[in-house]
């Protein structure tokens, strides 16, 4: 684990490079534009990455043929729907209608008399409403 002073020194160096000016950015762009791309050099302690093995092509068997649906034989015809509706005997309606019972007339009590609301004259509205100070606009308390 790095010590705090090493971390501080790294941060100070990074800040110094950033504060040195924008010329480092232009220099990096100039190097990237003018220098041809070189192949990465092999590092002497790290083995080279092996290439992945190639998978040989496998011949697949031919796709089996789709089975065909057998032909259906003769289909029986749909039976004809009769167009005439046969007559149905319906019982006769009764001629006597039962009497509806009458509802007796109920006597309601008389409505109570509502007293009249007296007419009241209101005072006139003031032309301007006085402003109320807001709590945060109050003067600070005295420090005496």
What's the gap between Cα 106 and its chain centre? Answer: 63
Q: Using alpha carbons, list the distances in angstroms from residue 75 to 45, 72, 126.
A: 84, 8, 98
Give 21-80 pLDDT, tens digit per residue.
Answer: 556 667 777 777 776 666 667 777 777 778 888 888 888 888 888 888 888 888 888 888
Give 104-132 pLDDT, tens digit per residue.
Answer: 888 888 888 888 888 888 888 877 777 76
Per-residue pLDDT, 122: 86
- Judged against a pLDDT cut of 70, whether residue 12 lies above it is answered with yes
Q: Rounded CA gap, 49 and 43, in Å?
A: 12
The residue ranges of every structural domain in the chain are 9-33
Angle at Cα 115 formed by Cα 109 and Cα 118, nearest 5°?
Answer: 170
How would residue 136 be classed by pLDDT, with cut points 50, 70 and 90?
A: low
What are the residues whose beta carbons fall under 8 Å from the beta carbon of 24, sequence distance 6 or more?
A: 17
- Judged against a pLDDT cut of 70, whether residue 133 lies above it is answered with no
Q: Rounded CA gap, 18 and 24, in Å?
A: 8
């Amino acid at each position: 684990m790095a010590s705090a002073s090493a971390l501080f020194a790294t941060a100070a160096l990074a800040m110094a490079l950033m504060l040195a000016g924008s010329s480092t950015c232009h220099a990096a762009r100039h190097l990237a534009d003018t220098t041809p791309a070189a192949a990465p050099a092999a590092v002497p302690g790290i083995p080279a990455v092996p290439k992945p093995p190639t998978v040989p092509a496998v011949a697949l068997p031919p796709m089996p043929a789709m089975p065909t649906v057998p032909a259906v034989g003769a289909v029986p015809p749909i039976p004809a729907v009769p167009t005439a509706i046969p007559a149905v005997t319906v019982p006769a309606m009764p001629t006597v209608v039962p009497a509806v019972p009458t509802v007796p007339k109920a006597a309601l009590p008389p409505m109570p008399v509502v007293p009249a609301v007296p007419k009241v004259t209101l005072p006139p509205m003031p032309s301007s409403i006085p402003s109320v100070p807001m709590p945060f606009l109050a003067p600070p308390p005295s420090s005496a």
